[in-house]
Amino acid sequence: MSIETTQNAALKIDLESATPQERVAWAAEMFGDELIMTTSFGTHSAVMLHLVTSVIPDIPVVFIDTGYLFPETYRFASELTESLNLNLKKYRASTSAAEQEALHGRLWEQGEDGLKRYNFMNKVEPMARAVEDLGARAWLAGLRRSQGETRAKRAIVENQNRMTKVYPILDWNNRQMHQYLTENKLPYHPLWDMGYVSLGDWHSTSKLEAGMTEAQTRFGGQSRECGLHEPSGSVDFQI
């Protein structure tokens, strides 16, 4: 099915007014076993994981492990994988964190070009392998418009080159996220209570301080995106 056909189908059922569960069900019907989802096991990741697997229990859940995540994130990932019985597919860079630092130094400290190289090696390339290995044509991701300017004008369904991306909770705010967690007795990331509102690698994530936006807590405010969800659609995951 072409991207144009997919987008036309999305318009016919008005995904903007649909519930998150209806959006997930639409994606499952549209793409079948060529649909995956991604998770970072971030602050509110339990929402997407619970919501999606309640509709598609066996969906492949891709987790990109950079090797630089907080210890709490690894424990949180283990907890949710077991409690939600996730079909987890973990992918890492082809070069270990220790080897990368030995050969290239701390790339995330080397300006914009260093950060782009770091993100490609540790996030974009592993995701490309996941897409190829799993035969995916579409993926569900937990982006929300309230998370920053790069996400504020996104559509529920969009194209990133040859991949179709669907954002079931794109229009949810923090109140709705908290309500879903509470109603379904789900945990949020333990670092939330310490002031972390958006979580990634320990070296590129900071607490939310007075006067900061959520986007400014990532990558020292240089960028909200890590390469996986660039608004330009410049990353091609079909290798």
pLDDT tens across 189-219, in order?
A: 998 888 777 788 988 887 777 776 776 766 6
Q: Which of 24, 107, 131, 226 is catalytic?
A: 226
Phi, psi dihedrals of residue 167, rounded to the nearest 5° = -115, 90
N-term to C-term CA, the chain? 19
Give catalytic status of residue 226 as yes or no.
yes
pTM comes to: 0.83
β partners of residue 89: 62
Q: How much of the chain exceeds pLDDT 90, in percent?
A: 58
Question: Where exactly are the structural domains of the chain?
Answer: 3-221
CA distance 40 to 64: 7
List the alpha helices (DSSP H) in 67-207. Answer: 71-83, 97-104, 111-119, 125-134, 174-183
Map tokens 């860079």 to a residue: 93
For 5-35, write each residue's pLDDT tens digit: 554 454 456 898 899 999 999 999 999 999 9
Confidence of residue 224 (pLDDT cuts 50, 70, 90): very low
Q: Which CATH superfamily is domain 3-221 in?
A: HUPs (3.40.50.620)
